[in-house]
Amino acid sequence: MNDQTPVADAPLFNPFSPEFVRNPYPSFQLLRENQPLMKTPLGFWVASRYADVQLILKDKRFGKGFDERMKMRNGDDVFDNPVYANMRTWMLVQDPPDHSRLRGLVAKAFTARRIDALRPQIQKLVDELLDGVEGRNSMDFIHDFAYPLPVNVICDMLGIPPEDRGRFQTGSKISGRLIDPTPVSDDEMRQIQEGFEGQSAYFRELFARRRAEPQDDLTTVLVQAEEAGERLSEAELVGNVILLFGAGHETTVNLLGNGLFALLQNPDEYAKLRANPDLMPGAIEEMLRFDSSVQMTGRTAMEDVEINGVTIPKGEHVINLLGAANRDGAAFDDPESFQADRKDVRPTSFGGGIHFCLGAQLARVEADIAFCSLLERLPGLRLDAADAPDWRPTFTLRGLKSLPISWG
């Protein structure tokens, strides 16, 4: 069979499977080798090779097509649900010109100069977290470090006062399910709606405070844009601040957790990095490649598009498997191994094209400061759990529920 020929009943991609969620990489290898561009029984396509994923992410013949994708997955009345109606306003799911308008408003807070200026504050947060655990000689890395660090960074950027941050200190067990390629259950939706209602009410309160008393923060910038008229509606303001809060911490939590797990599973690479901290920027790219925080992103064909002899018809949806592309042997030598000193690593983990992750540089800076400080202050880091750790029950956003470690 031609490896480019789609079939209707191939079992290679099964995001419903708990085994797949725990370790999708064997399935990804089978996909790349047998059906790298495959139409699934659920009606969407999956792309698993690096070259194909890069093309689809950057090619203007593909757009987001969010409304159609949500209706296909959840029914024509999906936007009667306030959570999905809120998602509809996110710049993450928009096509131009709305995407350009919304991203342009937010991008000024994510310039290289502004991100670099955050380094002292990020270092201070890292030092405070390590001060709190150093004498214990053990911690749950996710709970004690990987979660509170990026939450506090994005709270600082949005101007959420310290006294209000307690409500954000516990991560959702099902966060990320809304953007999985499989429908959420009724129980999951109830939990998601409760979280949405709480966040929406809080941020509307914060907007009122910033209208009355502007501050030097991203919330004030967006509130002032909303007040200027056509540039940002109230619904867009609520939706995109919720998006920024979620996207501003969740993927970084996973980068830190997945990255440390990979590093500690490879003692030689850990030793290499401790001996030569100058390798850290490249090692972070390798962490992103080896076990990406974001495993997939969707696109829709805006016209018929042919890729390697396969035509994706106009209006059909493609899931780009970022995690599969990052393990493609055509793009990376020995892709199943973690190499802290791998050269010229260019993972797909931050997406591509006009939707390339706005917070990519912030995530890199947080990870650089975090890992350099961890390796310097906590010598002899090691995994505590004898069994494989539990992964959160989401496919799109890949991360650990906990990661017990010790040192000394």
Return the structure tokens found at 28: 């990804």
What is the CATH topology of the domain spanning 18-406?
A: Cytochrome p450 (1.10.630)
Residue 194: per-residue pLDDT = 86
Residue 8: per-residue pLDDT = 38
Per-residue pLDDT of 208-259, as tens digits, reads 999 999 999 999 988 887 666 667 788 889 999 999 888 878 899 999 999 9
DSSP-based three-state secondary structure for 165:
helix
Residue whose token pair is 């750790």: 389
β-pair type (37-39, 45-47): antiparallel
Taking alpha carbons only, the member of 404, 179, 123 closest to residue 293 is: 179
CA distance linking residue 135 with residue 119, whole number of Å: 25
β-pair type (382-383, 317-321): unpaired
> Residue 291 contacts by C-beta under 8 Å, 6 or more apart in sequence?
258, 259, 261, 262, 323, 398
Taking alpha carbons only, the member of 314, 339, 341 closest to residue 327 is: 339
Residue 42: per-residue pLDDT = 79
Angle between helices 360-377 and 280-290 (to 10 degrees): 110
Angle ∠(81,229,83) on CA atoms, nearest 5: 10
Domain layout of the chain by residue ranges: 18-406
98 sits in which H/E element: helix 98-107
Residue whose token pair is 């408003």: 105
Return the structure tokens found at 381: 């880091």
Angle between helices 218-227 and 148-158 (to 10 degrees): 40
One DSSP character per residue, 175-215 reads: TTGGGSSSPPPHHHHHHHHHHHHHHHHHHHHHHHHHHHS--
Backbone angles phi, psi at 49, to 5 degrees: -95, 145
Residue 1: per-residue pLDDT = 32
Q: What is the CA radius of gyration of the chain?
A: 21
Say if residues 165 and 157 touch (Cβ distance below 8 Å): no
Consecutive sets of 10 residues in the chain, 408 residues long: mean pLDDT of each?
39 79 93 94 92 97 90 86 90 92 86 91 97 95 96 93 80 64 80 87 94 92 74 86 87 96 96 96 98 95 96 96 98 98 96 94 97 96 83 90 94
Burial string for 82-110 (b: 16+ CB within 10 Å, else e) reads ebbebbbbbbbbbbeeebebbbebbeebb
Bridge partners for 45 per DSSP:
39, 318
Residue 2: per-residue pLDDT = 37
Bridge partners for 300 per DSSP:
63, 317
Neighbouring CB atoms inside 10 A of 137's CB total 12
**DSSP character at residue 319:** E
> Residue 371 contacts by C-beta under 8 Å, 6 or more apart in sequence?
256, 259, 260, 263, 273, 280, 283, 284
CA distance linking residue 348 with residue 269, whole number of Å: 22
Taking alpha carbons only, the member of 400, 402, 395, 323 closest to residue 177 is: 395
